[in-house]
Amino acid sequence: MIIDILSWILLLGGGLLGIIGGIGMHWFPDVYSRQHAAGTTDTLCAMLILLGLALQAGFSLVTFKLALIFIFLLFTNPTASHALANAAMQGGLRPQLERTAGGDNP
């Protein structure tokens, strides 16, 4: 019962972070700040959901597979964010430093 409640808290928290990340993608003005929002979705959201699912599954083969996915995400998502930001930097996009209203491009 407690495990059930805990896993639901984790799942809902993950879902909430996903929605926040989605809003952030539209909210933020330039590539780098948007990436911050996307990074939240990539890492914490996915991991909370995986943890919640692992608690739901109990101790079984499924949990082991979820743990493998967890490790995989732990390595790949930050790397993907890094590669994306790096590519944007090399492509000549500069971070937007002043506070301006709206506008996609710095």
Partner 1 sequence: MIEVFIDIILLSFIAVTAVAILRMTNLFAIIMLFGIFSFLSASLFAVMDAVDVAFTEAAVGAGISTVLMLATIALTKTQKEKVSVSHRHWLPLSVVIVTGAVLVYGTLDLPAFGDPEAPAQTHVAPYYIDKAVEETGLPNMVTSVLASYRGFDTLGEVVVVFTAGVAVLLLLGGKHRISDTGTNEIEKNEHSLILRVVAKFLIPLIIVFALYVQFHGDFGPGGGFQAGVILSAAIILYTLVFGLDAAERVIPPSILRILASLGVLIYTGVGIVTILLGGNYLNYSVLGDSKVAGQHLGILLVELGVGIAVFAVLLVIFLTFAGRGRP
Interface residues with partner 1 (CB under 8 A) are 72, 75-76, 79, 82-83, 86, 90
Nearer to partner 1, 2 or 90 (CB): 90
Nearer to partner 1, 60 or 76 (CB): 76
- Is the CB of residue 23 less than 8 Å from the CB of residue 36? no
C-alpha distances (whole Å) from 61 to each of 18, 30, 51, 67, 103 are 27, 42, 14, 10, 48
Q: How far is the CB of 52 from partner 1 (least distance, A)?
A: 17
Q: How far is the CB of 82 from partner 1 (least distance, A)?
A: 5
